């Protein structure tokens, strides 16, 4: 077995090569690779992809998102987030994933973090003996309408055959729900204006930075503009390339929405939303607490007008509001997001409880 590593220049050469076009399984989609290459936090020598080969055939890969995180003292620390891992199913149990992970440790000086991992991957990370728990963030998944035909097949492929029946059941169950929602009228924004924008400039940057004390990643407008300009998901049905990639690369609907909250001509909040099919997420939210209700009303209004069935949120102020007030949701369930960090990197985070980790940190804003 041979392990090859790829920096941004080498990754660019790979996705443009005949080798890439011939692969029955590809290690990354073209547009996701281009996003990594344009990452403003990536240096030219950062290793972004690790591939295991056997007789020149790819048998496994591991992707890394280059990043920079900050501790409470404001110290900037170069790091990589493990972003995706795949091993040929016929060869699992032969130590391929372990060697990919060991290469990531070596090339990133043991400065590695992970979130959104499967139980199988967590077992691998635990066996490495190299990780500590960083944080478990509490969130909510809120359902405005029944959508079992979308949720269940993603949890278990056996439900795909029942999608037409699930869709019919959802339609029937949603008749009284739609009648209720028809009479749900969000409050008027008497003093606040919500302005959607396609690009962020210094006014938003100044506001975000003013709200970034104790922020784990301290994203600024350069980072956010990169996220919206180089998405990992493209609005499309299945393509020849997406069928060769084992992670998400296309979606029927995917939108990034940047919203400025303005009061008396002054920015008093900024939110980054993503809409994937009928699912709304809040990767980043910076706002004054007294404007929480107005922001909630905007979210309700957006879900109603865009016919969005589901909301996922981790921002503590938003989670607290949804748990403490009546809502138009038919069901809310608690969810958690677990973050782990290598011991070498964890040594810099003695006061971790004060850290603010937003929903979009790591690679979560892209999907």
Give the 3-state secondary structure of 203-241.
HHHHHHHHCCCCECCCCCHHHHHHHHHCCCCEECCCCCC
CB 207 within 8 A of CB 270: yes
pLDDT of 241 above 70: yes
Ordered structural domains, the chain, with CATH: 2-136 (3.40.630.30), 139-337+357-366 (3.40.630.30)
pLDDT band at 187; cut points 50, 70, 90: low
Model confidence band, residue 148 (pLDDT cutoffs 50, 70, 90): confident
Residue 182 pLDDT greater than 80, yes or no: no
Identify the pLDDT of residue 189: 56
Q: Evaluate whether 247 touches 307 at the Cβ level (below 8 Å).
A: no
- CA 138 → CA 103, 211, 273, distances in Å? 32, 21, 18
Sequence-ordered list of residues with C-beta below 8 angstroms from that of 304, at least 6 positions apart, any chain: 144, 181, 184, 186
pLDDT at 186: 56
Mean pLDDT (the chain) is: 94
pLDDT band at 184 (very low <50, low <70, confident <90, very high): low
Q: Are the CB atoms for 132 and 112 separated by under 8 Å?
A: no
Q: Are 137 and 339 in contact (CB under 8 A)?
A: yes
Give 136's strand partners. Answer: 338
Q: List pLDDT tens digits, range 276-332.
A: 999 999 999 999 999 999 999 999 999 988 989 999 999 999 999 999 998 999 999
For residues 217 and 187, which has the higher predicted lDDT (pLDDT)? 217
Q: If we measure between CA atoms, which residue out of 82, 81, 100, 83 comes closest to residue 91? A: 100
Supply the pLDDT for residue 68. 98
For 107-120, how does the pLDDT look when each residue is reduced to its tens digit (9 = 90+)?
999 999 999 999 99
Could you give the percent of the chain with pLDDT greater than 70?
A: 98
Mean pLDDT of 238-259: 96
Q: Which two tokens stand for residue 245?
A: 């990639």
Reported as a pLDDT band with limits 50, 70 and 90, residue 190 is: low
pLDDT for 163 equals 84
pLDDT bracket for residue 260 (50, 70, 90): very high
Residue 191 DSSP code: S
What gap in Å lies between CA 47 and CA 56, rounded to an integer?
Answer: 20
pLDDT of 337 over the 80 cut: yes
pLDDT at 319: 98
- Is 338's pLDDT higher than 60? yes
57-102 tens-digit pLDDT: 999 999 999 999 999 999 999 999 999 999 999 999 999 999 999 9
Please say if the pLDDT value at position 215 is more than 70: yes
The average pLDDT across 11-29 equals: 97
**What is the predicted pLDDT for the residue at 194?**
95
Overall average pLDDT of the 135-144 stretch: 96
- Minimum mean pLDDT range among 5-9, 163-167, 222-226: 163-167
Q: Residue 50, class by beta-carbon neighbours within 10 Å (0-12 exposed, 13-18 middle, 19+ buried)?
A: buried
Instruction: Report which of residues 53 and 147 the model is more confident about.
Output: 53
**Full DSSP string of 83-142:** EEEEE-GGGTTSSHHHHHHHHHHHHTTT-EEEES--HHHHHHHHHHT-EEEEEEEEEEEE
Judge whether 171 and 309 are in contact, CB under 8 Å: no
């Amino acid at each position: 077995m041979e392990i090859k590593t790829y920096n941004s220049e080498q990754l660019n050469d790979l996705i443009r090569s005949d080798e890439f076009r011939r692969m029955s399984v590809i290690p990354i989609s073209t547009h996701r690779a281009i996003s990594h290459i344009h990452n403003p936090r990536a240096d030219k020598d950062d290793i972004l992809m690790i591939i295991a080969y056997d007789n020149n055939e790819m048998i496994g890969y591991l992707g890394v998102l280059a990043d920079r995180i900050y501790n409470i003292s404001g110290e900037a620390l170069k790091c990589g987030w493990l972003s995706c891992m795949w091993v040929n199913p016929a060869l699992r149990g032969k130590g391929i994933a372990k060697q990919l992970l060991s290469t990531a440790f070596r090339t990133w000086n043991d400065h590695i973090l992970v979130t959104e991992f499967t139980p199988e991957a967590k077992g691998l990370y635990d066996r490495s003996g190299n990780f500590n728990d960083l944080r478990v963030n509490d969130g909510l998944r809120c359902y405005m309408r029944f959508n079992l035909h979308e949720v269940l097949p993603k949890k278990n492929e056996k439900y795909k055959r029942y999608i037409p029946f699930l869709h019919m059941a959802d339609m029937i169950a949603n008749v009284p729900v739609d009648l209720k929602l028809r009479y749900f009228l969000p409050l008027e924004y008497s003093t606040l204006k919500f302005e959607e924008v396609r690009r962020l400039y210094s006014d938003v940057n100044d506001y975000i930075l003013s709200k970034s004390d104790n922020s784990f990643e301290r994203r600024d407008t350069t980072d956010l503009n990169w996220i919206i300009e180089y998405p990992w998901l493209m609005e499309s049905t299945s393509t020849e390339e997406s069928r060769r990639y084992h992670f998400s690369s296309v979606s029927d609907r995917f939108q990034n929405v940047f919203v400025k909250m303005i009061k008396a001509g002054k920015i008093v909040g900024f939110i980054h939303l993503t809409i994937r099919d009928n699912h709304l997420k809040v990767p980043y939210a910076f706002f004054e607490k007294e404007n929480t209700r107005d922001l909630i009303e905007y979210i309700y209004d957006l879900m109603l007008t865009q016919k969005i069935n589901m909301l996922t949120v981790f921002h503590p102020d938003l989670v607290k509001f949804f748990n403490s007030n009546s809502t138009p949701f038919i069901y809310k369930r608690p969810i958690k997001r677990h973050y782990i960090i290598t011991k070498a990197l964890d040594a810099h985070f003695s006061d971790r409880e004060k850290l603010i980790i937003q929903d979009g940190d790591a690679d979560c804003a892209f999907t």
